[in-house]
């Protein structure tokens, strides 16, 4: 890591160093030239405190992780979190599945956890979509060969990986495009990947439902839980991208909404597509 990549956690101004040493046991934290505050107070803090501040979406803690730590293992986190997301979708147990089950009118076919909302009006899905809807109808897993069941996990993994690739690409390209109109930070792909992995940790809040949820869990509880996690996750991404790109609020919210839409659309079309070419 080169020295110039450090940033003040309070204002985002570049800093040459986080601390200076005066002898073997004397260490002095650097002051920011812009806001006169300590550049990074978190280097003295316990990691647990940093984690708590991250959960509370503190911008200072986010800057600390993205700019002032090495955070080398972000790609491990990236893969583990994709696996977690895959597990939810594979079990038919996520907000994304609930939306698909509702829009495509897929009823419970004794597969675990197919939550479905009965809409007051019937949505008729137009043609190119309705055939992909059929691709989401899951076979009864009890009667299914274990090998096919496992294969389905890899298919969902690829599909979600494609969705996330589209998500990151959409954000990066749209931010580049909007850079022509409003002030923005120059962001490298690695910083973007680190920020993505950091924000995606909000997915961990789906764990209680994935672990303890069962067939007796009321659908309303399930929907409420996943909806709250989604909103938290959206706000988390919004905050991290505001810190990363320093773009205006409306632009960030707009780009994030489009990227989410692109991600879920990709996964929706990708799963039936991979199932078709691998069957
Ligand atoms: Zn500062």
Domain range summary for the chain, segments of one domain joined by +: 3-68, 74-278
Q: What is the pLDDT of residue 109?
A: 55
Decide if pLDDT at 234 tops 90: yes
Average pLDDT over residues 15-22: 89
> Residues 186-204: what's their mean pLDDT?
93
In the predicted structure, residue 57 carries a pLDDT above the cut 90: yes
pLDDT of residue 181: 82
100/23 Cα distance (integer angstroms)? 62
Percent of the chain at pLDDT > 70 equals 94
Residue-level pLDDT at 4: 59
Q: Ion ligand 1 — residues with CB under 5 Å?
A: 8, 10-11, 13, 32, 34-35
User: In whole numbers, what is the pLDDT of the chain averaged over residues?
Assistant: 88
* Confidence tier at 114 by pLDDT (50, 70, 90): low
Residue 75 and residue 170: Cα distance in Å, rounded?
19
Dist. CA 32 → ligand 1 center (Å) = 5
- Which of 19-23, 133-137, 261-265 is most confident? 261-265
CA of 28 to the centre of ligand 1 (A): 16
Measured in Å, residue 9 CA sits from the centre of ligand 1 at 7
**Quick one: pLDDT at residue 2?**
46
Q: Higher confidence at residue 146 or residue 34? A: 34
Mean pLDDT for 168-192 is 88
97-101, 114-118, 215-219: which has the highest mean pLDDT?
Answer: 97-101
- pLDDT value at position 139? 67
Which of the residue ranges 71-75, 112-116, 143-147, 274-278 would you say has the lowest mean pLDDT? 112-116
Residue 75 predicted with pLDDT over 90:
yes
Q: Which residue has the higher pLDDT, 183 or 110?
A: 183
What was the pLDDT predicted at 142?
A: 65
- Centre of ligand 1 to C-alpha 2, Å, is 19
CA of 203 to the centre of ligand 1 (A): 31
**C-alpha 182: how far from chain center:** 25
């Amino acid at each position: 890591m080169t020295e110039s990549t450090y940033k003040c956690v309070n204002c985002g101004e570049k800093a040459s160093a986080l601390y200076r040493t005066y002898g073997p046991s004397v260490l002095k934290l650097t002051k920011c030239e812009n806001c006169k505050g300590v550049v990074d107070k978190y280097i003295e803090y316990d990691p647990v405190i940093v984690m708590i501040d991250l959960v509370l979406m503190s911008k200072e803690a986010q800057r600390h992780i993205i700019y002032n730590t090495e955070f080398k293992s972000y790609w491990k986190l990236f893969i583990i979190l994709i696996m977690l997301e895959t597990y939810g979708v594979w079990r038919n147990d996520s907000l994304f599945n609930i939306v698909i089950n509702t829009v495509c009118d897929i009823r419970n076919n004794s597969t675990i956890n197919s939550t479905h909302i009965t809409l007051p009006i019937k949505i008729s899905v137009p043609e190119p979509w309705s055939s992909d809807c059929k691709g989401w109808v899951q076979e009864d897993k009890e009667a299914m060969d274990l090998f096919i069941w496992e294969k389905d996990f890899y298919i969902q993994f690829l599909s979600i990986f494609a969705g996330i690739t589209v998500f990151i690409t959409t954000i990066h390209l749209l931010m580049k495009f909007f850079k022509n109109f409003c002030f923005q930070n120059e962001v490298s792909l690695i910083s973007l990947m680190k920020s993505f992995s950091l924000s995606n940790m909000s997915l961990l809040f789906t764990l209680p439902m994935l672990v303890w949820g069962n067939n007796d869990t009321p659908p309303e509880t399930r929907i409420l839980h996943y909806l709250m996690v989604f909103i938290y996750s959206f706000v988390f991404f919004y905050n991290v991208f505001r810190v990363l790109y320093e773009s205006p609020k409306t632009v960030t919210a707009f780009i994030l909404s489009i990227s989410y839409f692109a991600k879920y659309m990709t996964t929706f079309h990708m799963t039936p597509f991979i199932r078709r070419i691998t069957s």
